[in-house]
Amino acid sequence: MIKRKRTKIIKIGNKKIGGNFPILVQSMTNTKTADAKATLSQIKKLEKAGCEIIRVGVPDLKSAEAVSKIKKKINVPLVADIHFSIDVALESIKQGADKIRINPGNFPKEGLKTIINLAKKKKIPIRIGINSGSLEKDILGKQRRVTPEMMVKSALRNVKLMENLGFYNLVISLKAPDVLRTVKAYEMLAEKVDYPLHLGITEAGGEFSGTIKSAVGMGVLLQKGIGDTIRVSLSADPAEEVRVGWEILKSLELRERGVKIVSCPTCARTSIDVVGLTKKIENITNQIKKPLRIAIMGCVVNGLGEGREADLAIVGAGKMALLMREGKIVTKVKEKNKIFEIFCRELKRMV
């Protein structure tokens, strides 16, 4: 079992992160926030996929004004992502954002004070979001490449800035687009602060490479007990980010949700259509919320063992296909093409 690093508990709308609270999965919309209808529709889809905190980009006042309209109709906390504009930050808070994400160093001190005072009044946290791509020029100096040390320096500087203004309701992120820099930066920061950490490999890439990078990077950190909320960042449908985020947490047994599929890679011993069955079973189970372990195994070599550990399993057994439920063989069929139908009936009974 992974021992999590204890961090300060921070409340974000109707959710809490840090301490012993579950690591929450978040995502970000890619609609124009000012178009409240389109943004709402995307958030609804993301909520359904399992998104637990949603962030929206707020580039202007029109977008900030849409925040309250959106908030009224969603169930998850809304985070407003703001850069440079004090007015937009203030308006987003006034409109009911549950948290804002800023780079404090991008604001003049007086403006930052105003934002902090309003955040304090509304009891909302602020995420200090450090990205390697937008590091302060004085830290970067003449270097072309940002180092983890530079990112941590920037984060600590911003934390200090906020603390000196009497603000401690903080979450921190420290993202780079590659695994090693990001991991190193978070490891170093986790030693120095006890604020909750929002994990992510930023701009990780497309669905395939971004998923792998995110899983590797966040996996390493989460396994060390670092991280209180995660955002997978993909150049793809945000619903995919949520799906990947959940799979990362499920694979480390940090959270449970829905179906966990165990399926073999197939080989010369395979006696059922494992690939086709797995695809079909993934499709019909991706909306199930109840935690279930399902195994699809090509033969009895490992099939019976995996079937024993699964809630429901299909196992190829020479001329037959077996259906196992809670570790026991409940059906043996010679017409192997009927096994999917039988499986579906049993699944329906279970959920």
Whole-number CA gyration radius for the chain: 23
Choice from 129, 210, 298, 307 touching ligand SF4 (CB under 6 A): 298
**Residue 112, both tokens:** 């930052």
Contact flag: residue 314 with ligand SF4 (CB under 6 A): no
Stretch of 54-62, 122-130, 301-309, 325-333 contacting ligand SF4, by CB under 6 A: 301-309
**Residue 35, both tokens:** 């178009």
Contact flag: residue 299 with ligand SF4 (CB under 6 A): yes
| Paired strand residues for 174 | 130
**Residue 58, both tokens:** 């707020």
Q: How far is the CB of 308 from ligand SF4 (least distance, A)?
A: 13
Contact flag: residue 302 with ligand SF4 (CB under 6 A): yes
Q: What separation in angstroms does the CA of 224 have from each of 116, 166, 178, 218, 348?
A: 32, 31, 18, 10, 38
Nearer to ligand SF4, 61 or 275 (CB): 275
Q: How far is the CB of 272 from ligand SF4 (least distance, A)?
A: 9
Any idea what the Cα angle at residue 28 is, between residues 175 and 129, rounded to 5°? Answer: 30
Choice from 17, 297, 313, 339 touching ligand SF4 (CB under 6 A): 297
Closest by CA to 35, choosing from 69, 5, 12, is 69
Quick note: the x/- pattern for ligand SF4 over 257-296, rule CB under 6 A, is -------xxxx-xx--------------------------
Q: How far is the CB of 310 from ligand SF4 (least distance, A)?
A: 13
Nearer to ligand SF4, 114 or 302 (CB): 302
Residues 41, 43: Cα–Cα separation, whole Å: 6
Nearer to ligand SF4, 10 or 324 (CB): 324
Closest by CA to 323, choosing from 283, 287, 291, 350, is 350
Nearer to ligand SF4, 279 or 345 (CB): 279
Q: What separation in angstroms does the CA of 151 have from each of 148, 229, 343?
A: 5, 19, 51
List residues binding ligand SF4 (CB under 6 A).
Answer: 264-267, 269-270, 297-299, 301-303
